[in-house]
A and B are shown apart, each in its own frame.
Chain A
């Protein structure tokens, strides 16, 4: 190849790589901008709709706070883990303004809160597409971070044996990224509870296990109506056989009356999933 031809090829290559670089950087900037504005919007929403459920520290090495109000809860009749999870008639304060939230989008049917994380977020379920909120925000606008959501195979009253909520593992720590805090044994030990607020109830779940998981679609892969299948799922929660890294709370008792909540996000390698699973221990009406 002549020197002139070689130069032309090299210059063409530089131009192609340069254009790719510019496009990729532009896309990245847009992506970060979208994630930033979504995070900002969620923070504003949280402070206007659920100001008493503040987003916590973003640093897992920060101060860990065990929720004192839950520590004093008496255990339910079923041992604190089954059926109605110790349903009490004493109404408690609902810390979420669902009227305002549902004015924005009636598909927001509950609110999830995990202390000391950025997880203080509305939970959505689309009437159009099961995965609509994978890439749409609370206002139904396209947004890569999406929203926290469940699929239509789960009832919105959390009465299923297993309810699965999905959220992105965002690089900026928003959505369900902070679930990874539970891989830290110290954080896992000191943060036992997940709270769900619905317009009429407050549900308290005790975290049973936080583990790596494969990319299997849980609800499409297991028939939890089958007692045997559900029992196997519970056994596996207490003793995750296929996880390399996991934290388990051994003292929690699980049985066929248990109502499990699975929070699912991607692993940092973007291949498998990371799930945090809790069991309903308290179901309180709200006023």
Chain B
């Protein structure tokens, strides 16, 4: 008897759940996944800046770094040699 009642209740729950008005709410512990019905539109990330894209050759910075390193290295080496002579 107990089994029959359980089955009837289960069938009723299933039947009512197909009617949207009685469907399980989203707060139910039973997790439901709402499918994405809205088509995703491919909108590019806009460039809203007030400056034009920087299209320069970026090796100026590298050349500057190389020049500074060479100068620094040279100066330190000269100083080292002078210190060693003392």
Contact = CB atoms under 8 A, between A and B. Distances in A.
A216 B60 CA distance: 22
A17 interface: yes
A266 B80 CA distance: 42
Interface in A91-142: 126-132, 134
A155 interface: no
B84 A166 contact: no
A175 B56 CA distance: 11
Interface residues of B, number: 34
Contact of A6 (B42, B45, B52, B83): B83
A151 B73 CA distance: 45
Interface in B36-81: 42, 44-60, 62-63, 65-66, 68-70, 72-73, 76-77, 79-80
Given A18-B69, A20-B72, A170-B57, 7 more contacts: A10-B77, A28-B59, A31-B59, A171-B57, A171-B59, A217-B50, A270-B60
A270 B45 contact: no
Interface of B: 42, 44-60, 62-63, 65-66, 68-70, 72-73, 76-77, 79-80, 83-84, 86
Nearest to B44: A152
B50 to A, nearest CB: 5
B43 to A, nearest CB: 8
A1 to B, nearest CB: 10
